[in-house]
Structure 1
């Protein structure tokens, strides 16, 4: 159950109907790190990434299908969740499933110095980038940046 709660937090999806503002992003990312570091060792281990997704594998086939993932998502952040799923489905070509190959690649993307460990600074930097890049999809519309 803990991994289910962390994953919901990790992608910023709630069942609330009001838009969610994740700013300041560094605080959101830091909270995500602490709630995702299950063993408390100060890094986000590759096995913890598996744990985050385990409860979304409804049919227990070892991979999370897009429909399994999105089944748990409601507005106002459905569009943001679709983009995040596309990020997670990173093994070419995208196939609509997130599995160990995708997890390995995604974890490697988070591991900025490629030393095999995602430490707090790498995790936070990664999620700040994700939140900034997709700001228009999760920020309350009254506060979303205006693009010319």
Structure 2
């Protein structure tokens, strides 16, 4: 249940206000994702974030499994996030350990196999800025 905190935070913010300031939103995401409280986002914590999305327990998260848990205000944003997470070439419509390895390296700016709070925050600021139109309070959503 703890892995739902990541998007619970997004959903709560989406219903209440904009994600701005992005640095505070990203810092809140970091604190909700640093499950062991060591001040770093460990590779194992990336798995933990997605664990409950894998509803059929096959070791990977299908797009429909991931989007099933996302509410209307953030649906379009979640579609884009899924595409970001499905980053091991070629994209296959599933998020698994191979994708997690690639995504973790993307977040790890200095490639020291450790994502610090600064790296985590910087990454999520870029994601939020790049996709601002999809998560702003005035967005128009549509689900397929």
Q: Give distance in 2, aligned partners of 1:97 and 1:84.
A: 12
Q: 1:132 is matched with which residue: 124, 129, 133?
A: 129
1:13 is aligned to 2:25: no
The question of 1:46 aligning with 2:43 is answered yes
Where structure 1 has 5 or more consecutive residues not aligned to the other structure, the ranges are 143-148
Count how many residue pairs are aligned between Structure 1 and Structure 2: 139
Deviates more, 1:69-78 or 1:18-27: 18-27
Runs of 4+ in 1 over 6 A off after TM superposition: none
More helix by share: 2
Q: What is the correspondence of 1:61-72 to structure 2 with a 5 Å cutoff?
A: 61-72=58-69
CA RMSD after TM alignment: 1.8
> Under a length normalisation based on structure 1, what TM-score does the superposition of the two structures give?
0.88
TM-score, reference length from structure 2: 0.91
Deviations 1:28-78 (A, max 9, x none): 001111111111111000000000000000000000000000011121110
User: Could you say what secondary structure the match of 1:76 adopts?
Assistant: helix
